[in-house]
Amino acid sequence: MERQFYKVVTIFLIWTSIGWFSFPFLVRASTIAPDLRFPRLLLQATVVALLYACAGIITLILGRYRTTKIQSEKLRQCPQCKKRIRADAVICPYCLTELDTE
């Protein structure tokens, strides 16, 4: 769930960044603004694109870090239903068996 959230946010930010990077070139290629001051637009769009790219990289790292933290959580097997549960669980979330804490 949380992993999915980070993934979606990262993809959105990177996608927006690519959009900002390509925006000045698309405007120049089209005939929307013939008297366009291209270098200025390129600079501004690149700054915005870099901000989005940085935010995307931060969420990517954050998502990676949090994911590995969740994965490294110790698991054990429920003696009753044999499902994998957290090692520090007091009650099995599947079969509600009381477990002896180690």
Which range in 8-16, 22-30, 49-57, 89-97 contacts Zn ion by CB under 5 A? Answer: 89-97
Among 11, 58, 81, 91, binds Zn ion (CB under 5 A): 81
Q: What's the CA gap between 80 and 98, in Å, rounded?
A: 10
Judged by CB under 5 A, the number of residues near Zn ion is: 7
- Which structure tokens are listed for 100? 């002896």
Q: At its nearest, how many Å lie between Zn ion and the CB of residue 74?
A: 16
Among 80, 86, 87, 88, binds Zn ion (CB under 5 A): 80
Q: What's the CA gap between 2 and 7, in Å, rounded?
A: 9
Among 9, 78, 89, 99, binds Zn ion (CB under 5 A): 78
Q: Distance of CA 81 to CAs 18, 37, 90, 95, Å?
A: 49, 69, 15, 7
For residue 85, the cross-strand partners are 76
Residues that bind Zn ion (CB under 5 A): 78, 80-81, 92, 94-95, 97
